[in-house]
């Protein structure tokens, strides 16, 4: 259509060099979507002077309002766009060559009554100019309406559907558009005519007195039969119903005519609108999930049936979207198809399958990816603060090697990795060959001393940061139960911060945050504890009544200890071990300007509540402030 419009526009430019025409005004008055998938109606006006443009605009709105209030146009209104092109005429009205004296008007398209010798046949003579003007609209399917500014009743249809703008204008245009759009015949007759010719081409008239030649599936429904008198002949031609808009104005369209209108719409429009992806040929890595979708134009009355297929196999989705997991597809070319069937009650006889439309995408699954799977996990009952063995087996099910990847372990209560879980550390696993099986060695693994006794879920997680693109991202986690008993008579200091190594932690001053150094001494419940900070290392340490605190007491120690007393930012660094033998410290810093990097260590001492003697010291844990 674009080539035709370009040619017409060029021709119009050449012709206009030798003629004088007024400027045109182009408007879109009904916009239901892209012209690439709509039947675009263009309405021209003839015999309207420049001062009568508002009359033309209101006439167009009236024509469109009537058309889309008439079934089946009403149900299928979304299948149409409507544009108007106004070019003023010198005179108002149309030629009346059959009156005395003849009336001659100077109009853009030279509209005239008595076309072909029929007084009420109002048609245009300057069809070339009409085509050029119609091509100025965003799109045109070649069927153009023309409204003529004349009060004398009339209309005719061929390439153009022409009507006058008198009291029956909207009915006449709906009738005439049935001719030009759907190829419908006139169903009225003239006296004393008998048809003896071949079967007519139009679907709504027949020479078969039974009607079976054209509308067998409609016979006996909605008053459809074979009524003699049609196509201008009183005898020999038959129509589907006793009355219809194609016979008399003010009547609805009969089922046979309505069927042809729906089929004519489907000759141009597919109900699969705005398909995504827009490209019909795609390429994707194996393991990627792709979304396919469209907007379904089938009216509710059509009870549309949507079928998605992959390589001819129907999928479970029956809606407007489908997600394709390329990890389930072999390498190579695949066909993704959606089929939409309009099961409309307006159509029964559909030999060409027009209400059934498909959209196909060609998908090339090309790049090969690894597929890391948590294949096996085993451990043994453990004690808080003690070591255990964890056997982990990772398999690469993919056809290519994986890059190096992190393999990590967690303790969880609900098998969902979250900040509430206890981090047991991890290891960087070197690249794994295709189909290879490896056992990342992390033996032994220490269970943090502050873990309360109970049964947990031990999990292995491969590539938690999702840095490796894989065929299947859902097989990277495996869980098994792990029973953990209470810590023995130990003294331990560790961070009880989720998803963090228990023996090292960092606070960033700019963003703020919290750390929770926790003392665990089950056999010293009720005794006093103190968590101290040193900035000059852990050796040689500091003697404390026969014990050696693995911390060099220095200026940091004295300043931090004084700051921790009564502070709201540093809490729980001096206190009493609870009934489980736990002492929980916390540093809670709001966002602040970072002043540099400070690296130090925390260590804790336990003091007998009765004698005041130092009875236990913990190991040291690293702390960094940035």
Q: Tell whether 319 and 222 lie within a shared domain.
A: no
Separation between Cα atoms, residue 230 and residue 244, nearest integer Å:
11
Separation between Cα atoms, residue 505 and residue 495, nearest integer Å:
7
| DSSP string for residues in 9-43 | HHHHHHHHTTS--PPEEEEEEE--S-GGGSEEEEE
Confidence band, pLDDT 50/70/90 cuts, at residue 593: low
CATH number, domain containing residue 589: 2.20.130.20
Q: Tell whether 175 and 32 lie within a shared domain.
A: yes
Give the domain range for residue 231: 189-247
Question: Of 134, 163, 182, which residue is a domain's last?
Answer: 182
Q: Tell whether 418 and 551 lie within a shared domain.
A: no
**DSSP 8-state symbol, 91:** S
pLDDT greater than 60 at residue 103: yes
User: Is this structure's pTM higher than 0.85?
Assistant: no
pLDDT greater than 90 at residue 147: yes
Q: Residue 388 phi/psi, 5° resolution?
A: -140, 165
Distance of CA 463 to the CA centre of its chain: 29
Q: Do 531 and 604 form a contact (C-beta atoms < 8 A)?
A: yes
Separation between Cα atoms, residue 587 and residue 371, nearest integer Å:
42
Instruction: Check residue 304 and give its pLDDT.
Output: 93
Instruction: Check residue 9 and give its pLDDT.
Output: 32
Structure tokens at 54: 């508002």
Q: Tell whether 336 and 383 lie within a shared domain.
A: no
Separation between Cα atoms, residue 532 and residue 526, nearest integer Å:
19
pLDDT greater than 80 at residue 280: yes
Instruction: Look at residue 155 and tell me if it is in a domain.
Output: yes
Instruction: Look at residue 218 and tell me if it is in a domain.
Output: yes
pLDDT greater than 50 at residue 489: yes
Q: Residue 210 phi/psi, 5° resolution?
A: -95, -20
Question: Of 338, 365, 392, which residue is a domain's last?
Answer: 365
Q: Tell whether 360 and 381 lie within a shared domain.
A: no
Confidence band, pLDDT 50/70/90 cuts, at residue 8: very low
Instruction: Look at residue 257 and tell me if it is in a domain.
Output: no
In the chain, what are the helix, strand and coil shares in percent, each to the nearest 5?
A: 15, 35, 50
Q: Tell whether 504 and 617 lie within a shared domain.
A: yes
Strand ranges (E), 128-260:
144-148, 155-157, 160-164, 189-194, 227-230, 232-239
Structure tokens at 381: 């009952």
Instruction: Look at residue 395 and tell me if it is in a domain.
Output: yes
Which residue from 172, 165, 160 is spatially nearest to 147, judged by alpha carbons? 165
Count the domains in the chain: 5
Structure tokens at 14: 């050449």
Instruction: Look at residue 295 and tell me if it is in a domain.
Output: yes
Q: Please, what is the average pLDDT of the chain?
A: 91
Confidence band, pLDDT 50/70/90 cuts, at residue 441: confident
Instruction: Look at residue 259 and tell me if it is in a domain.
Output: no
Confidence band, pLDDT 50/70/90 cuts, at residue 618: very high
Instruction: Check residue 338 and give its pLDDT.
Output: 98
What does each C-alpha distance from 597 to 508, 535, 552, 594, 600 come to in angstroms?
Answer: 9, 11, 19, 8, 10
Structure tokens at 317: 């989705």
Instruction: Look at residue 62 and tell me if it is in a domain.
Output: yes
Q: Tell whether 214 and 168 lie within a shared domain.
A: no
Q: Tell whether 481 and 500 lie within a shared domain.
A: no
Instruction: Check residue 16 and give its pLDDT.
Output: 33
Instruction: Check residue 499 and give its pLDDT.
Output: 60
Residues 89-103: what's their mean pLDDT? Answer: 97
Instruction: Look at residue 277 and tell me if it is in a domain.
Output: yes
Q: Tell whether 356 and 449 lie within a shared domain.
A: no
Please, which contacts does 307-311 make with residues 24 or more away whose CB atoms are closer than 8 Å? 307/338, 307/339, 307/340, 307/341, 308/336, 308/337, 308/338, 309/335, 309/336, 309/337, 309/338, 309/339, 310/334, 310/335, 310/336, 310/337, 311/335
pLDDT greater than 50 at residue 19: no
Residues 335-347: what's their mean pLDDT? Answer: 97
pLDDT greater than 60 at residue 316: yes
Lowest mean pLDDT among 16-25, 542-551, 577-586: 16-25
Q: Tell whether 361 and 395 lie within a shared domain.
A: no
Question: Of 365, 396, 414, which residue is a domain's last?
Answer: 365
pLDDT tens column, 363-403: 999 877 899 999 999 999 999 999 999 999 999 998 899 99
CB contact burial 283-320 (16+ within 10 A = b; e otherwise): ebebbeebebebebbbbebbebebebbbeeeeeeeeeb
Instruction: Check residue 1 and give its pLDDT.
Output: 30
Lowest mean pLDDT among 376-385, 499-508, 584-593, 614-623: 499-508
Q: Tell whether 386 and 479 lie within a shared domain.
A: yes
Q: Tell whether 291 and 433 lie within a shared domain.
A: no
CB contact burial 432-444 (16+ within 10 A = b; e otherwise): beeeeebebebee
Residues 266-279: what's their mean pLDDT? Answer: 97
Lowest mean pLDDT among 32-36, 320-324, 495-499: 495-499
Instruction: Check residue 588 and give its pLDDT.
Output: 87
Which residue from 281, 136, 133, 253 is spatially nearest to 187, judged by alpha carbons? 253
Lowest mean pLDDT among 421-425, 488-492, 550-554: 421-425
Instruction: Check residue 12 and give its pLDDT.
Output: 34
Residues 146-153: what's their mean pLDDT? Answer: 97
Separation between Cα atoms, residue 262 and residue 354, nearest integer Å:
9
Which has more pLDDT, 597 or 57? Answer: 57
Instruction: Check residue 595 and give its pLDDT.
Output: 62
Residues 417-440: what's their mean pLDDT? Answer: 91
CATH number, domain containing residue 444: 2.60.40.10
pLDDT tens column, 164-199: 999 999 999 999 999 999 999 999 999 989 999 999
pLDDT tens column, 392-421: 999 999 889 999 999 999 999 999 888 778
């Amino acid at each position: 259509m674009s080539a035709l419009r370009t040619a017409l526009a060029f021709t119009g430019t050449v012709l206009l060099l030798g003629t004088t025409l007024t400027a045109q005004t182009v408007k879109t008055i009904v916009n239901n979507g892209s012209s690439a998938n709509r039947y675009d109606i263009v309405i021209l006006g003839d015999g309207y002077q420049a001062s009568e443009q508002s009359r033309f605009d209101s006439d167009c709105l009236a024509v469109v309002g009537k058309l889309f209030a008439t079934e089946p146009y009403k149900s299928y209104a979304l299948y149409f766009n409507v544009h108007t092109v106004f070019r003023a005429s010198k005179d108002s009205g149309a030629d009346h060559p059959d009156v005395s004296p003849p009336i001659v008007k100077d109009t853009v398209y030279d509209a005239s009554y008595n076309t072909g010798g029929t007084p009420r046949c109002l048609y245009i003579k300057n069809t070339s100019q009409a085509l050029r003007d119609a091509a100025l609209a965003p799109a045109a399917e070649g069927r153009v309406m023309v409204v003529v500014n004349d009060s004398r009743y009339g209309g005719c249809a061929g390439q153009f559907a022409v009507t006058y703008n008198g009291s029956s204008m909207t009915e006449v245009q709906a009738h005439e558009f049935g001719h030009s759009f759907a190829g419908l015949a006139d169903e009225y007759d003239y006296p004393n005519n008998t048809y003896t010719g071949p079967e007519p081409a139009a679907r709504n008239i027949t020479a078969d007195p039974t009607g079976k030649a054209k509308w067998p599936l409609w016979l006996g429904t909605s008053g459809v039969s074979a009524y003699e008198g049609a196509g201008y002949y009183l005898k020999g031609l038959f129509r589907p119903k006793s009355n219809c808009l194609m016979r008399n104005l003010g009547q609805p369209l009969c089922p046979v005519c309505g069927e042809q209108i729906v089929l004519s719409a489907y000759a141009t429009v597919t109900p699969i609108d705005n398909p995504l992806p827009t490209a019909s040929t795609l390429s994707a890595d194996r393991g990627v999930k792709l979304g396919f979708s469209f907007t379904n134009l089938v009216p509710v009355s059509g009870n549309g049936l949507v079928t998605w297929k992959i390589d001819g196999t129907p999928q479970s989705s029956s809606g407007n979207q489908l997600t394709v997991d390329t990890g389930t597809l072999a390498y190579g070319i695949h066909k993704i198809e959606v089929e939409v069937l309009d099961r409309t009650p307006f159509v029964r006889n559909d030999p060409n399958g027009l209400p059934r439309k498909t959209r196909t995408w060609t998908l090339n699954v090309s790049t090969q990816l690894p597929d890391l799977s948590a294949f096996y996990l085993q451990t043994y009952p453990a004690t808080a603060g003690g070591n255990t063995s964890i056997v982990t087996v990772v398999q690469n099910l993919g056809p290519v090697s994986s890059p190096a990847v992190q393999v990590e372990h967690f303790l969880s209560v609900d098998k969902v990795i979250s900040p509430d879980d206890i981090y047991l550390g991890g290891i960087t696993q070197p690249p794994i060959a295709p189909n290879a099986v490896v056992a990342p060695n992390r033996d032994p693994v220490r269970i943090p001393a502050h873990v309360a006794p109970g049964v947990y879920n031990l999990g292995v997680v491969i590539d938690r940061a999702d840095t490796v693109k894989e065929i299947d991202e859902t097989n990277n986690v495996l869980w098994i139960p792990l029973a953990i008993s209470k810590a023995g008579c130990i003294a331990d200091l560790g961070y009880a911060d989720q998803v963090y190594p228990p023996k090292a932690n960092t606070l960033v001053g700019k963003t703020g945050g919290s750390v929770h150094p926790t003392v665990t001494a089950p056999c010293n419940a009720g005794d006093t504890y103190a968590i101290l900070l040193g900035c000059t290392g852990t050796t040689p340490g500091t003697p404390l009544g026969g014990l050696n605190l693995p911390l060099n007491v220095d200026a940091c120690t004295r300043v931090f200890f004084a700051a921790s007393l009564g502070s709201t930012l540093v809490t729980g660094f001096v206190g009493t071990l609870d009934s489980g033998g736990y002492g929980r410290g916390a540093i809670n810093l709001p966002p602040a300007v970072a002043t540099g990097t400070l690296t130090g260590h925390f260590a804790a001492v336990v003091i007998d509540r009765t004698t005041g003697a130092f009875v236990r010291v913990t190991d040291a844990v690293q702390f960094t402030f940035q």
